[in-house]
Protein backbone atom coordinates (compact mmCIF):
# COMPACT_ATOMS: atom_id res chain seq x y z
CA UNK A 1 0.00 0.00 0.00
CA UNK A 2 1.40 3.34 -1.06
CA UNK A 3 0.02 6.67 -0.03
CA UNK A 4 0.57 9.80 -2.01
CA UNK A 5 0.34 12.72 0.36
CA UNK A 6 1.30 16.35 0.50
CA UNK A 7 4.84 17.54 0.81
CA UNK A 8 6.05 18.30 4.28
CA UNK A 9 4.18 15.44 5.96
CA UNK A 10 7.06 14.56 8.24
CA UNK A 11 7.57 18.19 9.20
CA UNK A 12 3.87 18.45 10.02
CA UNK A 13 4.05 15.41 12.30
CA UNK A 14 7.20 16.63 14.01
CA UNK A 15 5.51 19.93 14.82
CA UNK A 16 2.59 18.21 16.57
CA UNK A 17 4.33 16.94 19.68
CA UNK A 18 1.15 17.62 21.66
CA UNK A 19 -0.71 14.91 19.72
CA UNK A 20 1.63 12.85 17.55
CA UNK A 21 4.16 10.33 18.87
CA UNK A 22 6.90 9.43 16.37
CA UNK A 23 8.97 7.44 18.86
CA UNK A 24 6.37 5.32 20.71
CA UNK A 25 8.98 2.82 21.90
CA UNK A 26 10.20 5.46 24.32
CA UNK A 27 6.85 5.38 26.11
CA UNK A 28 6.67 1.65 26.77
CA UNK A 29 5.36 1.29 30.30
CA UNK A 30 4.93 5.08 30.54
CA UNK A 31 1.72 5.78 28.63
CA UNK A 32 -0.25 6.44 31.81
CA UNK A 33 2.38 8.98 32.84
CA UNK A 34 2.15 10.63 29.43
CA UNK A 35 -1.61 11.06 29.78
CA UNK A 36 -1.17 12.09 33.38
CA UNK A 37 -4.17 10.22 34.78
CA UNK A 38 -5.28 6.77 35.79
CA UNK A 39 -7.85 6.31 33.04
CA UNK A 40 -7.89 3.02 31.06
CA UNK A 41 -6.05 2.92 27.75
CA UNK A 42 -7.77 1.77 24.55
CA UNK A 43 -5.76 1.33 21.35
CA UNK A 44 -6.78 1.07 17.70
CA UNK A 45 -4.32 -0.88 15.56
CA UNK A 46 -4.47 0.32 11.97
CA UNK A 47 -6.45 3.53 12.55
CA UNK A 48 -6.45 4.60 8.89
CA UNK A 49 -7.55 8.22 8.51
CA UNK A 50 -8.49 8.38 12.19
CA UNK A 51 -12.24 9.01 12.15
CA UNK A 52 -13.02 6.20 14.61
CA UNK A 53 -10.36 6.95 17.20
CA UNK A 54 -11.01 10.70 17.02
CA UNK A 55 -14.75 10.33 17.60
CA UNK A 56 -14.21 7.75 20.34
CA UNK A 57 -11.90 10.12 22.23
CA UNK A 58 -14.51 12.87 21.99
CA UNK A 59 -17.48 10.74 23.00
CA UNK A 60 -15.75 8.85 25.82
CA UNK A 61 -13.59 11.29 27.69
CA UNK A 62 -13.21 8.93 30.66
CA UNK A 63 -10.90 6.78 28.51
CA UNK A 64 -7.43 7.44 27.06
CA UNK A 65 -7.05 6.51 23.38
CA UNK A 66 -4.05 5.71 21.21
CA UNK A 67 -4.36 5.39 17.44
CA UNK A 68 -1.57 3.52 15.68
CA UNK A 69 -0.67 3.33 12.01
CA UNK A 70 2.55 2.73 10.09
CA UNK A 71 1.99 5.36 7.41
CA UNK A 72 3.04 8.98 7.93
CA UNK A 73 0.26 10.33 5.74
CA UNK A 74 -2.46 8.46 7.62
CA UNK A 75 -1.16 9.72 10.96
CA UNK A 76 -1.22 13.25 9.52
CA UNK A 77 -4.78 12.86 8.29
CA UNK A 78 -5.79 11.41 11.64
CA UNK A 79 -4.35 14.44 13.41
CA UNK A 80 -6.60 16.67 11.31
CA UNK A 81 -9.64 14.52 12.12
CA UNK A 82 -8.81 14.59 15.82
CA UNK A 83 -8.60 18.37 16.01
CA UNK A 84 -11.82 18.76 14.02
CA UNK A 85 -13.63 16.32 16.32
CA UNK A 86 -12.79 18.45 19.35
CA UNK A 87 -13.23 21.86 17.70
CA UNK A 88 -16.84 22.09 18.85
CA UNK A 89 -15.60 22.37 22.42
CA UNK A 90 -12.92 24.83 21.32
CA UNK A 91 -10.22 22.35 22.32
CA UNK A 92 -7.18 22.40 20.03
CA UNK A 93 -5.48 19.28 21.38
CA UNK A 94 -7.58 16.28 22.51
CA UNK A 95 -6.53 15.65 26.13
CA UNK A 96 -7.15 11.90 25.99
CA UNK A 97 -5.73 11.00 22.58
CA UNK A 98 -2.32 10.24 21.10
CA UNK A 99 -1.53 9.20 17.53
CA UNK A 100 1.51 6.99 17.15
CA UNK A 101 3.57 6.02 14.12
CA UNK A 102 4.39 2.33 14.50
CA UNK A 103 4.21 -1.09 12.89
CA UNK A 104 1.80 -3.45 14.64
CA UNK A 105 4.41 -6.18 14.28
CA UNK A 106 6.39 -4.30 16.94
CA UNK A 107 3.73 -3.62 19.56
CA UNK A 108 5.66 -5.49 22.24
CA UNK A 109 8.28 -2.75 21.88
CA UNK A 110 5.58 -0.09 22.34
CA UNK A 111 3.49 -1.43 25.23
CA UNK A 112 4.44 -3.03 28.52
CA UNK A 113 2.71 -6.17 29.76
CA UNK A 114 -0.83 -5.35 30.88
CA UNK A 115 -0.65 -1.71 29.81
CA UNK A 116 -3.73 -1.76 27.54
CA UNK A 117 -7.36 -2.45 28.41
CA UNK A 118 -8.92 -2.70 24.96
CA UNK A 119 -7.76 -3.23 21.40
CA UNK A 120 -9.80 -2.20 18.35
CA UNK A 121 -9.24 -3.91 15.01
CA UNK A 122 -11.39 -2.14 12.44
CA UNK A 123 -11.49 -3.27 8.81
CA UNK A 124 -8.00 -4.70 8.84
CA UNK A 125 -6.46 -5.85 5.57
CA UNK A 126 -8.09 -9.27 4.90
CA UNK A 127 -5.01 -10.69 3.12
CA UNK A 128 -7.30 -13.06 1.14
CA UNK A 129 -4.61 -15.42 -0.15
CA UNK A 130 -4.00 -18.42 2.10
CA UNK A 131 -0.25 -18.00 1.88
CA UNK A 132 -0.64 -14.57 3.52
CA UNK A 133 -2.74 -15.79 6.47
CA UNK A 134 0.04 -15.01 8.95
CA UNK A 135 -0.29 -11.33 8.08
CA UNK A 136 -3.92 -11.15 9.20
CA UNK A 137 -4.20 -9.20 12.45
CA UNK A 138 -6.34 -11.94 14.00
CA UNK A 139 -3.79 -14.67 13.33
CA UNK A 140 -2.64 -16.50 16.50
CA UNK A 141 0.83 -14.97 16.26
CA UNK A 142 -0.78 -11.53 16.74
CA UNK A 143 -3.11 -12.85 19.43
CA UNK A 144 0.01 -13.85 21.38
CA UNK A 145 1.09 -10.21 21.35
CA UNK A 146 -2.33 -8.84 22.21
CA UNK A 147 -2.60 -11.16 25.19
CA UNK A 148 0.74 -9.90 26.42
CA UNK A 149 -0.16 -6.20 26.41
CA UNK A 150 -3.79 -6.51 27.60
CA UNK A 151 -4.58 -6.22 31.31
CA UNK A 152 -7.08 -8.10 33.50
CA UNK A 153 -9.98 -6.24 31.83
CA UNK A 154 -8.53 -6.89 28.38
CA UNK A 155 -10.78 -7.16 25.34
CA UNK A 156 -10.50 -7.11 21.56
CA UNK A 157 -13.27 -5.49 19.50
CA UNK A 158 -13.12 -6.57 15.87
CA UNK A 159 -15.09 -5.28 12.86
CA UNK A 160 -14.80 -6.20 9.19
CA UNK A 161 -16.75 -6.27 5.96
CA UNK A 162 -14.92 -9.42 4.85
CA UNK A 163 -16.92 -12.60 5.45
CA UNK A 164 -13.79 -14.67 4.77
CA UNK A 165 -11.70 -12.75 7.30
CA UNK A 166 -14.50 -12.88 9.87
CA UNK A 167 -14.80 -16.64 9.50
CA UNK A 168 -11.03 -17.02 9.80
CA UNK A 169 -11.00 -14.76 12.86
CA UNK A 170 -13.79 -16.60 14.68
CA UNK A 171 -11.94 -19.86 14.17
CA UNK A 172 -8.68 -18.25 15.25
CA UNK A 173 -10.25 -16.92 18.46
CA UNK A 174 -11.89 -20.29 19.15
CA UNK A 175 -8.71 -22.28 18.52
CA UNK A 176 -6.89 -19.93 20.87
CA UNK A 177 -9.49 -20.69 23.55
CA UNK A 178 -10.88 -17.15 23.76
CA UNK A 179 -14.38 -16.22 24.89
CA UNK A 180 -16.41 -14.43 22.22
CA UNK A 181 -19.57 -12.42 22.78
CA UNK A 182 -21.86 -9.96 20.98
CA UNK A 183 -21.22 -11.66 17.64
CA UNK A 184 -23.01 -9.96 14.76
CA UNK A 185 -23.08 -10.96 11.10
CA UNK A 186 -24.87 -7.75 10.18
CA UNK A 187 -24.24 -5.02 12.74
CA UNK A 188 -26.60 -2.51 11.15
CA UNK A 189 -29.33 -4.97 10.14
CA UNK A 190 -32.05 -2.80 11.60
CA UNK A 191 -30.58 0.44 10.36
CA UNK A 192 -27.66 2.54 11.49
CA UNK A 193 -26.53 1.44 14.94
CA UNK A 194 -25.99 4.74 16.71
CA UNK A 195 -24.13 3.10 19.58
CA UNK A 196 -21.16 2.30 17.36
CA UNK A 197 -18.75 4.90 16.02
CA UNK A 198 -18.21 4.19 12.34
CA UNK A 199 -14.95 4.28 10.44
CA UNK A 200 -14.56 5.76 6.96
CA UNK A 201 -14.59 2.26 5.48
CA UNK A 202 -17.71 1.34 7.41
CA UNK A 203 -19.61 4.30 6.02
CA UNK A 204 -18.45 3.39 2.53
CA UNK A 205 -19.47 -0.26 2.83
CA UNK A 206 -22.79 0.63 4.45
CA UNK A 207 -23.52 2.85 1.45
CA UNK A 208 -23.04 -0.17 -0.79
CA UNK A 209 -25.40 -2.29 1.29
CA UNK A 210 -22.65 -4.56 2.55
CA UNK A 211 -22.90 -6.40 5.86
CA UNK A 212 -20.65 -5.37 8.72
CA UNK A 213 -19.44 -8.23 10.93
CA UNK A 214 -18.46 -7.62 14.54
CA UNK A 215 -17.35 -9.57 17.60
CA UNK A 216 -16.02 -8.79 21.07
CA UNK A 217 -13.32 -11.08 22.45
CA UNK A 218 -12.69 -11.32 26.18
CA UNK A 219 -9.13 -12.05 27.27
CA UNK A 220 -8.49 -10.54 30.71
CA UNK A 221 -9.26 -12.60 33.81
CA UNK A 222 -11.53 -9.97 35.35
CA UNK A 223 -13.34 -9.39 32.04
CA UNK A 224 -14.05 -13.10 31.79
CA UNK A 225 -15.23 -13.27 35.40
CA UNK A 226 -17.65 -10.37 34.90
CA UNK A 227 -18.95 -11.95 31.70
CA UNK A 228 -19.62 -15.25 33.44
CA UNK A 229 -21.51 -13.51 36.23
CA UNK A 230 -23.66 -11.60 33.74
CA UNK A 231 -24.31 -14.72 31.68
CA UNK A 232 -25.30 -16.80 34.70
CA UNK A 233 -27.60 -14.06 35.93
CA UNK A 234 -29.17 -13.72 32.49
CA UNK A 235 -30.01 -17.40 32.17
CA UNK A 236 -30.58 -18.26 35.82
CA UNK A 237 -34.10 -19.48 36.54
CA UNK A 238 -36.14 -17.04 38.56
CA UNK A 239 -39.22 -17.92 40.57
CA UNK A 240 -42.30 -16.22 39.07
CA UNK A 241 -43.73 -13.41 41.12
CA UNK A 242 -47.28 -13.75 42.34
Query: Burial, 192: exposed, middle or buried (Cβ in 10 Å; 0-12, 13-18, 19+)?
Result: exposed
Residue 199 among known ligand-binding residues:
yes
Q: Which pTM was predicted?
A: 0.91
Residue 103 among known ligand-binding residues:
yes
- Show which residues are catalytic: 125
Residue 201 among known ligand-binding residues:
yes
pLDDT in tens, 114-152: 999 999 999 999 999 999 999 999 999 999 999 999 999
Distance CA 56, CA 51 (A): 9
Distance CA 67, CA 49 (A): 10
Distance CA 177, CA 171 (A): 10
The confidence band for 7, taking pLDDT boundaries of 50, 70 and 90, is confident
The residue among 193 and 219 whose pLDDT is bigger is: 219
Residue 69 among known ligand-binding residues:
yes
pLDDT the model gives residue 209? 80
Q: Is pLDDT at 195 greater than 80 in this prediction? A: no
pLDDT in tens, 43-72: 999 999 999 999 999 999 999 999 999 999
Residue 171 among known ligand-binding residues:
no
Amino acid sequence: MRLRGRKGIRESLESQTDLVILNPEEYKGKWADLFGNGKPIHVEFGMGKGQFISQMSYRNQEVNYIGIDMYDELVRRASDKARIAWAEEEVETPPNLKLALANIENILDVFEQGEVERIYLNFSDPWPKSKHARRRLTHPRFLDKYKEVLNSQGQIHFKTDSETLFEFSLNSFADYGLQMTNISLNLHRDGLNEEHVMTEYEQKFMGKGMNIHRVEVLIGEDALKEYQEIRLKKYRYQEPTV
